[in-house]
């Protein structure tokens, strides 16, 4: 396997149960809290007037295969996935500057962002030396 992307359909007014049964480390809890707070800054359902959207997590490409357009193909494939699921919108928090630029090239727009250089949980800086200063909640309407 050279690439992977976890997708789920989120529906309006449906509580997310996906992570409630999994025991998470403190580090993962902070990562998920960061993502949730970023996503809370913009409501996909209202912005795109939709009842559901394809939510993606962790698009990754094996290091030996980076910079070959595979990430772009994974994002392009979402058009067919959205069509098959009759779900017109896809949204993702993109964490790295390269993935953010790729998403923009593939038609995603930034709907919210979070400066993680100053982001705190319980008064503590969570990411003291981040590789990228800003993470972006980005979305695209396919149809």
- Beta-bridge partners for 90: 54, 140
CA of 78: how far to CAs of 65, 91, 104, 115, in Å? 20, 10, 14, 27
Do residues 58 and 99 make contact, with C-beta atoms less than 8 angstroms apart? no
Give Cβ neighbours of residue 93 (< 8 Å, ≥ 6 apart). 35, 38, 39, 135, 136, 137, 138
Going from N- to C-terminal start, the domains of the chain cover: 3-11+23-141
- Percentage of the chain with pLDDT > 90? 90
Closest CA to 66 of 99, 107, 105: 99
Residue 23 burial by CB count (10 A; 0-12/13-18/19+): exposed, middle or buried?
exposed
Q: What is the pTM of this model?
A: 0.91
Characterize 25-42 residue by residue with b for buried, 16 or more Cβ atoms within 10 angstroms of its Cβ, and e for exposed.
Answer: eeeeebeeebbeebbeeb
Do residues 89 and 53 make contact, with C-beta atoms less than 8 angstroms apart? yes
- Distance of alpha carbon 103 from alpha carbon 111, whole angstroms: 12
How confident is the prediction for the chain on average, in pLDDT?
94
93-110 pLDDT, tens digit each: 999 999 999 999 999 999
Note the CATH number of domain 3-11+23-141: 3.40.630.30
38-80 pLDDT, tens digit each: 999 999 999 999 999 999 988 999 999 999 999 999 999 999 9
């Amino acid at each position: 396997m050279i690439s992977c992307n976890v997708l789920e359909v989120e529906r309006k007014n449906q509580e997310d149960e996906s992570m409630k049964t999994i025991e998470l480390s403190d580090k993962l809890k902070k990562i998920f809290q960061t993502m949730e707070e970023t996503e809370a800054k913009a409501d996909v359902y209202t912005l795109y007037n939709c009842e559901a959207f394809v939510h993606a997590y962790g698009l990754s490409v094996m290091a030996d295969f980076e910079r070959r357009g595979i990430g772009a193909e994974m994002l392009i494939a979402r058009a067919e996935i959205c069509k098959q699921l009759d779900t017109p919108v896809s949204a993702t928090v993109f964490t790295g500057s390269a993935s953010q630029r790729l998403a923009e090239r593939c038609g995603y727009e930034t709907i919210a962002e979070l400066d993680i250089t100053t982001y705190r949980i319980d008064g503590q800086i969570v990411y003291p030396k981040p590789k990228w200063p800003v993470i972006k909640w980005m979305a695209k309407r396919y149809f």
